[in-house]
């Protein structure tokens, strides 16, 4: 999958489209999902032009990787779901049902989330 510099998250990063920001540092931006699936639904994205988890893990610097992971944990703590529990999920590619081709971590929480995949779906 090639990186499309006009994907929606690239446009958010360039300030062309607004977002409800929850966190930002040199390597990471996090904002509320526009169509939240749970009471807490935040997207945590690296600022670099990475499409997927495998792309990011192969090309990102140690500082970028650490920043993305640390930011996700900090946001869980700051939004008050660290104790009650939450889910992080990254959809990748066609089988993963990725809609926006800029790597993002979903952070879901604020209610019991149920099983990740229904037994019948195995
Ligand atoms: P994916 O299926 O790629 O893992 O998820 C993409 C997510 O991005 C979806 O949950 C969708 O609601 C969210 N999204 C799409 N466009 C926008 C937008 O313009 N702003 C925000 N904040 N979220 C968006």
What is the extent of the structural domain holding 50? 8-109
Residue 97 Cα: closest atom of ligand 1: 2
Which secondary structure element, helix H or strand E, spans residue 66, and what is its range? helix 62-78
Closest residue by CA, ligand 1 atom 21: 34
Tell me which residues have their CB closer than 6 angstroms to ligand 1.
8, 17, 19, 31, 33-35, 43, 91, 97-100
Distance in angstroms (rounded) separating the CA atoms of residues 57 and 70: 15
2 found inside a domain: no
12 found inside a domain: yes
Number of domains in the chain: 1
Question: Tokens representing 7?
Answer: 């994907």
Question: In CATH, what number is assigned to the domain containing residue 68?
Answer: 3.30.428.10
Instruction: Report pLDDT digits (tens) over 69-109.
Output: 999 999 999 999 999 999 999 999 999 999 999 999 999 99
| The pLDDT value given to residue 18 | 98
76 found inside a domain: yes
Instruction: Report pLDDT digits (tens) over 45-65.
Output: 999 999 999 999 999 999 999
119 found inside a domain: no
């Amino acid at each position: 999958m090639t990186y499309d510099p006009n994907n929606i998250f690239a446009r958010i990063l360039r300030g062309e489209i607004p977002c409800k920001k929850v966190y930002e540092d040199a390597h990471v931006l996090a904002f509320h999902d526009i169509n939240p699936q749970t009471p807490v639904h935040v997207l945590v994205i690296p600022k670099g032009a990475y499409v997927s988890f495998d792309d990011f893990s192969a090309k990102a610097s140690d500082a970028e990787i650490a920043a993305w992971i640390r930011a996700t944990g900090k946001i869980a703590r700051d939004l008050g779901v660290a104790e009650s529990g939450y889910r992080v999920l990254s959809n990748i590619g066609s089988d993963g049902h990725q809609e926006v081709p800029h790597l993002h971590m979903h952070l879901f929480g604020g209610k019991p989330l149920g099983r990740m995949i229904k037994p019948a779906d195995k």
